[in-house]
A and B are shown apart, each in its own frame.
Chain A
């Protein structure tokens, strides 16, 4: 299931990555958005571990999703 999930999503994220070799950094936008979302999820995991705020676990995915989408606005303005 893990490999299937990775295959299903990573192709979409890295599909336009090669554009950076042609001088167009817009292919990095989904990669950066994914990184921001992953960082927020890591931060939520740290909060759960460090402060025992287990309620964050229930909301970590929507929070990281919204944070990633929000970060897409400045990242797109920067890279395109």
Chain B
């Protein structure tokens, strides 16, 4: 077994162990409250509540798994799913670190860089949370100030503005082709009976933007007849 496989095997092994351990720890809190305060849940109400809300989180879990893991790498994903705050913290941290290092996440270097970035972010977050817990009393009036509420409500758009510029400037050909293909599709849906289907995205040909081929869906035969 070579070094890379050994490393990845250890990532999978410890990732599973820690994820399952954290799951047990999370369940231990309500169980502890139940046992210490003799406050058993209303099982019927709990079941009804779970039936109403849990399926939504199953869908979110599946979508997040398939969306985030290709962007975070294996080690980064295990760490992120344990520590949370993926979309607003771990994902930007990992993407920025990969960007600074000039590596791709699916490379060996990218896997290591992403994992280290998310680990450092988790440690920093934990330290800041500890400081916040210690300073919670003097900080509460500042953080709860109504004047700051709009700023905290707009963290994701503020984050994406900066990140978006970096990534669109690096991948502007993909962004431009996707925009044109989308505009062509909108043009077609809007009922323009032009043979070229609006912009050059909807004609069934691959639109080659530099070295990146962007293939656009072909028109169905019925639609082609309607357009004639």
Contacts and interface: CB of A to CB of B under 8 A. Distances in A.
Say if A and B assemble together.
Answer: yes
18 contacts: A1-B104, A2-B171, A5-B71, A5-B163, A12-B156, A13-B160, A31-B157, A34-B158, A41-B161, A41-B162, A45-B169, A61-B163, A64-B162, A66-B158, A69-B155, A72-B154, A73-B147, A76-B150
B59 to A, nearest CB: 15
> Chain A contact residues (Cβ within 8 angstroms of B): what range?
35 or more
B161 A68 contact: yes
B178 A42 contact: no
Query: Which 9 A-B residue pairings sit nearest by Cβ, starting from the closest?
Result: A37-B161, A68-B158, A64-B162, A76-B150, A72-B154, A30-B157, A38-B161, A34-B161, A9-B160
Number of chain B interface residues as a range: 35 or more
B105 A1 contact: yes
B157 A64 contact: no
Contacts, number: 124
Interface stretch (B9-17, B89-97, B192-200): B89-97
Contacts of B87: 8-9
B148 interface: yes
A45 B166 CA distance: 9
B154 to A, nearest CB: 4
Interface string A1-41: 11111111110110000000000000001110111111111
Contact of A37 (B105, B148, B162, B170): B162
